[in-house]
Every structure is written in C-alpha cells, then in structure tokens.
Amino acid sequence: MPVARRTDAVLLLVALVWGSSYLAAKTATVALPVMAVLFARYAISALGCGALIATRRRKRRWTREEVRLGSLLGVTQAAVLVLETYGVAHTSAANAGLIISLTIVLTPLLDRTGSRRPPRTFFLAAGLCVLAVGLLTSSSGLHAPRLGDALVLAAAVVRAGHVALVGRLTAGRPADPLHLTSAQTVVGSALFLVPALAHLPDLAHSSALTWAQLGYLALFCSVFAFVAQTWAVQRTSASRASLLLGTEPIWAVAIGISLGGERLTAWATLGALLMIAGTYWGQAIERTHRTTTARIMKKTTKATTKTTTKGDEECPAMTPTSA
C-alpha cells in the first residue's frame, strides 16, 4: 500500500476511534467526576506507553527535543481533553462529535507550514461543514448554545491549534511519535493528579464496566490515537490530517445512534449528509492543491538548476595563468 493511502487509512481509523470516545466518555462521566476520568485516562495511557517502550526491540534514546516538544504538546492536548470531557458531560455524544468537526475550518487558518495554505474553494467546503453542524445541533429549533456545546466548541478551537502545532513543531525533526506521546501522557497525568485526589476512592471502587471504558479511552483513544496522529501528521499536511480526522463526527453519530440510543431528526440527517459531502469535497480540494503545488515547485527547481548550469557554461571560471 502506498504511503499516502496508508497515512489516510491510519487517520480514518483514528477518526473512528475518537468518534467512539464521546459515548465512552459520556458514560464514564456518569459514574465518575470528570477530573477522575481524565486522570485515570492519562495514567493508564502513561503505563501503556511505558510498556510499549519497554518491549521495543530497538531501544531509542530520548532526546531533549522530544521531551520539550512532548511536554508542550501535552499541555495543549490536556486542554483539548478537559474541554471535550466537560462538554460531553453536558451534551449528547453525537452533538459533541459534530461540534468538534469545526476543527476542519479552523486548522487551515492556523496551518502555516510552507505554501500549503488551501485555496478559497477549500473554505467553501469547510463552510458547508459549518452549515451541517448548524443543522445538526439546532435540528430541534434555533436556540442559544448550551454549556456543553460551548465547551466542545472551545475544544475545537484548541484542537485546531494543537493539530497545527504538531505539524509545525515536528516538521523536519526526527522526533519519535511514541516518545512524544509518552511525554504527553506523563504531563497530563501530572496536571490532573491534584484535582483528582479527592475522587480517587470513587475511582478505586468503580465497576468493571467503568474500568473497561477508562481502559478503552486510555489505550485506544489516547495511546493508539496520539501515536498514530503524530506519525501521520509528520507524513502529510496538517490541513489534510484535519480533513480526514473530520470524519470523526460521522462515526460519533453512528455510534451514538447504534449503541447510545440517540436519535436524529430529518434536519439532523440532512446535516450529517452535508457533513460527509463537505468533508470529502474539502479533502479532494486539499489533495489536488498539495499535488499541484509540489509539481510546480519541482518544475521551478529544475528550471532554476538548468539556468544556473547554463550560466556557468557561458561564463567559465577564471583560472590563473603562469607568469
């Protein structure tokens, strides 16, 4: 399988896993306070990352750059998750997954890597996604954003910055995705430890189902997803990654309906269809733009090389003559 297709497949799998995380997080926050859920998620994730590092055949030394980048990204990722988790606790899993899709619009505005800024038509596709979100979240009539919706909207803004930051900070740097993810989980565990201290007894006496949900959130939605996202973003543009991860709300709705018993109205169904159309349209625009840009840059480089070579032939270097 070509690298481009493999990268796209990984990002789509991450979107599927994250789409399922809203229902798991909402169910977990019914049984436990948000801070306890976040601490457990990060602590289990840190243990999982440590196990992966310990079982590696080829050991890689940690670099100061990895620790520095991982610590910074750990703070931004923790900010995304605290907003998302508090948001999903006060809204439906489907709503949370749909509102977070606004990351598709915001990431290209923050992505400043090279000349990969999408064309104007990309923002038309993104605007279609915004319209879709409006239909989905207001399908029962226009109303002011609820607390949960507003928190998830804030999470979309922070996530867009996080995705762009991952692309910017890791571009051209030999950073190990597992090391970066491990650093993020350790930072998150430290950030949520103190707020969760009072709830540790509740956490210890949680049911097997709650621990299973926490394990899924930690090992699949965090460890696997963080490593896969970092690996994939290093091999594509932040804008393209955002578009593929933008299928996440579709998975969130599908899982919310099939497993969570949530329902969509006719307007919400129309919004879901528009979201699919906008995501795929935007993905096609970004892919074409990136391919065209790379082709133009390649031709420009060849033309510059030919011109320089020709100039050197017409003006040979002066050599000193004997006296």
Copy the structure tokens of residue 154: 């804030």
Copy the structure tokens of residue 25: 């997080």
Is residue 321 domain-resident? no
Question: The pTM is what?
Answer: 0.76
Is residue 74 domain-resident? yes
Q: For the chain, how many structural domains are there in total? A: 1
Phi/psi-derived region of residue 144, left when phi > 0, alpha when psi is between -120 and 50, beta in every other case? beta
Rounded Cα gap, residues 284 and 278, in angstroms:
10
Is residue 139 domain-resident? yes
Rounded Cα gap, residues 35 and 85, in angstroms:
9
What pLDDT is stored for residue 77 in this prediction?
92
Core vs surface per residue 152-164: b (16+ CB within 10 A) or e: bbbbbbbbbbbbb
Is residue 316 domain-resident? no
pLDDT tens, the chain, 323 aa long: 667 778 888 888 998 998 899 999 999 999 999 999 999 999 999 999 999 888 887 778 888 888 999 999 999 999 999 999 999 998 888 878 878 877 877 777 776 555 556 788 888 888 888 787 777 666 555 555 678 888 998 998 998 888 888 878 877 777 788 888 899 999 999 999 999 999 999 999 999 999 999 999 999 988 888 778 778 877 777 667 766 777 777 788 888 888 888 777 787 788 778 877 887 787 678 767 767 776 776 776 666 666 655 555 555 544 344 33
Q: Which helix (H) or strand (E) holds 251?
A: helix 248-258
Is residue 317 domain-resident? no
What pLDDT is stored for residue 303 in this prediction?
64
Q: What is the CA radius of gyration of the chain?
A: 23
What pLDDT is stored for residue 319 in this prediction?
39
Identify which of 2, 7, 82 has the alpha carbon closest to the alpha carbon of residue 235: 7
Distance of CA 123 to the CA centre of its chain: 19
Core vs surface per residue 276-293: b (16+ CB within 10 A) or e: bebbebbbebbbebbeeb
Is residue 319 domain-resident? no
Contact call for residues 70 and 182 (beta carbons, < 8 A): yes
Domain encompassing residue 171 = 3-198+206-308
What pLDDT is stored for residue 130 in this prediction?
79
CA angle 228, 233, 235 (to 5 degrees): 100
What pLDDT is stored for residue 74 in this prediction?
92
Copy the structure tokens of residue 172: 């051209």
Copy the structure tokens of residue 7: 């990268």
Is residue 81 domain-resident? yes
Is residue 318 domain-resident? no
